[in-house]
Structure 1
Amino acid sequence: MNLTARNKIDVRVLLAADVVASVEILPRVRPPLARVFAGKPATSLLNVLPRLFALCAAAQQTALLSAIETARDEVITRATKQHRIALIVTERITDLARGLFVGHLTQDVASAAAIRSLRSELSALGSAAHPVWGSAQREATAGIAAALAALGMPHDGDALKSGSPLALHIAALNEVDLKAVPTEHSFLSVADDRNIAKRLLVDETFCYCPDLDGHVPETGPWARQMARERLSPRPFGAVERLRARIVEILRLCAWLEAGAQIEAAEDGIIEIYKLGPGRAAAAVECSRGRLYHAVELDAQGRISRFEFLAPTEWNFHRRGPVVRNLEGAVLTARRSRDAVHAVIASLDPCVGFTLNFREVRDA
């Protein structure tokens, strides 16, 4: 059985003159894990999961393990939860920072040395993972902060250094940005968890095409910033999402450097929900947004139901943030097709994507 069939997203943009008339999204084909895992011992999933999810592996494992433990009525100790939160934060920093140099600074020769240093420190942070947060982790986190500062991200604030690689890149993005149509925004949050968790185990189609009372909220760094700081979501686009990514990296690094104390962690990084006998779900805030796993165990502790819902299913929904961000937008600059690509990339799907344009004219 091929578990990664058509593991990409196709985005088709229909242009009428200089206006985005419509956006069609052909979603990825998700691996049929519910059928594959049915009847298997719950613990057997944990060994398989890293091979199925190359991205956000720690978040995927934490979500599944937390759901299984809760379904079994096992108590998760404070120390275990603190360790898992630190692992999730470490993975988020790594993924968010890697996205900066892969998606934005790949061709920037001037920043090559700083990028090499950042990659080295990210690797050191990953290898320093340990249940007790100590000097090795703090040293690696401080190294990441120093490497980010060399790219223009000061450790003591969110204003980029003028003339730095990241500041110049954001200026270039601004030059090709779209003139988007004002629209309503909604953001996925902890308050939505229980509703989502219940629907995962009763509605077989929900994980493929989710919605909340007809709305399809955005999830990810920008959504977290909007919800946390209660900011007005205008303007919005690739630049705002990139800035939110930068702010989040700095904030998470500061939390790790301060000792990774659970009391100071952001709300909702890991949440668990008991849904009935042998039934439970967990939500984890990973780099791309909010991730859900839900399980139902039989009397022998085997999987009878398993569902997962990744951030990509919200952000690349046929009525989701990508479509809202692009439909009706005016292509105002010579390189505005690059801006369309930048908007899609700013939502950072967990699989690859293709982008195609088609021009239409009135008869």
Structure 2
Amino acid sequence: MSELPEMSTSIGVEVTRIEDRVEEAKVTPRRQVDATRILYGKAASDTPSLIGSVFTLCAASPRIASEAAIAAAQSRPTPDALRWRWRRMLYAERVAEHLRANLLDWPGEKSDPRRLAHLPALRKALGAVRAAGEGNDNSLHAALKEAACEIGAPLEAGQNPTAWFAELWRDALQYAQIAPWLSGVDFLAIDDVESVHRALCGRNADFLARPHLPGRVVETGPFARQFPYLRRNVGLLAARLQARFQDIAQALDALASRELLAGEGDLVVAGSRRLGEGFAMVDSPRGFLFHRVEIDASGAVTTYEILAPTEWNFHPAGPFAQALAAAKLDVADPRRFLATLAALFDPCASCDIRLREAQHA
């Protein structure tokens, strides 16, 4: 197993600029904290609930990934009713998590009355998600749609954001000229899932910290899901915000439907290479989340690995680093711009952003 450099639990973001040009952009992955060690020796049947208690952010996604990976390891089929329940929980979580990230994680004063005014709506959405596994489909959809409308999400084609989301839209639009669209974007796809499974079987710590595919450093998440439908004339930051809006609207449409939507992709993919080994991918709010488990003959967990979307998106040569390198810093508050760009990649860890001026030769 390869040695890794010392890393913080925060993502390091160091930008060096000369005048308004980015001279160097360095992204340091967060240190991998092996929270899964508590699972070793525990009964596999207890693992999903333990996972849910450890990972409280987007709690449904890791729990479902754990359930699917363990079922694959034990060669248990997944009933259609359970798959439909997973679908309901994942779409509900997608709506609520986008509302939470946009309200709580957007740069700016946390005590801003405009932000605080929408906290009751967010609490309503989060409460609905906690009950999503057992609740009524109609009441779940109604609660989430009401919360999304109160915060200002545009849910119909051609509709403009209102309320808090209108503030964010204006914020993102001001950066249209300094954050260009990048050519040659590359997204993690369902066809890549087996390649990730093989890489995880190699038990390589470097892959968990800096995941990549042969010749590719890829992105996952709402920008990847909604890419074909995004406006190209509003700048990169506003387009990324638009991707979240469309994710919310699409998830609400899915929750309102008792059938799969046209073109609806797989939310959960699971597989196994042998009895006692299982793997699952869940398309979480932030993107593809991977779990891999090994179970011994007694049913106890001997290995458990998690690869989160953040590691793909904040790879040192990944999409966030590329966006940093391509940006211009011709703004009054470049630190605010950097924080906004980072927030739109939605890491599940804090970013330690440092900006320094290069010395002229």
| 2:193 alignment partner in structure 1 | 193
| 1:59 alignment partner in structure 2 | 61
Cα distance in 2 for residues equivalent to 1:296 and 1:346: 35
* Contact persistence 2:254–2:261 (CA under 8 A): no
Report whether the alignment pairs 1:341 with 2:339: yes
| 2:3 alignment partner in structure 1 | none
**Which amino acid in 2 is paired with 1:143?**
E
Match of residue 325, structure 2, among 324, 327, 348: 327
Cα distance in 2 for residues equivalent to 1:307 and 1:357: 34
| 1:125 alignment partner in structure 2 | 128
Cα distance in 1 for residues equivalent to 2:115 and 2:335: 26
**Which amino acid in 2 is paired with 1:209?**
R
Shift of 1:203: 3.6
**Which amino acid in 2 is paired with 1:109?**
P
| 1:81 alignment partner in structure 2 | 83
1:56-102 deviation per Cα after TM superposition (whole angstroms, max 9, x unaligned)? 11100110111011110111100011001111111111111111221
Cα distance in 2 for residues equivalent to 1:147 and 1:197: 41
Shift of 1:33: 4.4
Cα distance in 2 for residues equivalent to 1:110 and 1:37: 42
Per the normalisation by structure 1, the TM-score is 0.87
Cα distance in 2 for residues equivalent to 1:208 and 1:49: 20
Cα distance in 1 for residues equivalent to 2:138 and 2:28: 47
The alpha-carbon distance between structure 1 residues 108 and 266, as it changes in their structure 2 partners (threshold 3 A), is farther
Shift of 1:342: 1.0
Same amino acid, percent of matched pairs: 26
| 2:283 alignment partner in structure 1 | 285
The alpha-carbon distance between structure 1 residues 263 and 360, as it changes in their structure 2 partners (threshold 3 A), is closer
Shift of 1:329: 2.3
**Which amino acid in 2 is paired with 1:102?**
L
What are the equivalent positions in structure 2 for 1:262-273 lying under 5 Å apart? 262=260, 266-273=264-271
Shift of 1:34: 5.6
**Which amino acid in 1 is paired with 2:314?**
F
| 2:173 alignment partner in structure 1 | 174
Cα distance in 2 for residues equivalent to 1:94 and 1:182: 29
Cα distance in 2 for residues equivalent to 1:348 and 1:204: 25
The alpha-carbon distance between structure 1 residues 235 and 78, as it changes in their structure 2 partners (threshold 3 A), is same
Cα distance in 1 for residues equivalent to 2:309 and 2:328: 27
Cα distance in 1 for residues equivalent to 2:262 and 2:125: 22
1:139-175 deviation per Cα after TM superposition (whole angstroms, max 9, x unaligned)? 3234234424xx2x343225315x7542343223222
What are the equivalent positions in structure 2 for 1:131-210 lying under 5 Å apart? 131=134, 133-148=136-151, 151=152, 153-157=153-157, 159-161=159-161, 164-177=163-176, 178-180=178-180, 182-205=182-205, 206-210=207-211
Shift of 1:236: 5.5
The alpha-carbon distance between structure 1 residues 191 and 236, as it changes in their structure 2 partners (threshold 3 A), is farther
Shift of 1:264: 5.9
| 1:94 alignment partner in structure 2 | 96
Shift of 1:297: 1.9
**Which amino acid in 1 is paired with 2:156?**
D
**Which amino acid in 2 is paired with 1:17?**
E
| 2:255 alignment partner in structure 1 | 256
> Structure 1: 5+ residue runs without aligned partners?
none
The alpha-carbon distance between structure 1 residues 94 and 181, as it changes in their structure 2 partners (threshold 3 A), is closer
Cα distance in 2 for residues equivalent to 1:273 and 1:305: 16
Cα distance in 2 for residues equivalent to 1:269 and 1:288: 12
| 2:4 alignment partner in structure 1 | none
Aligned length: 351
RMSD (Å) for aligned C-alpha atoms: 2.6
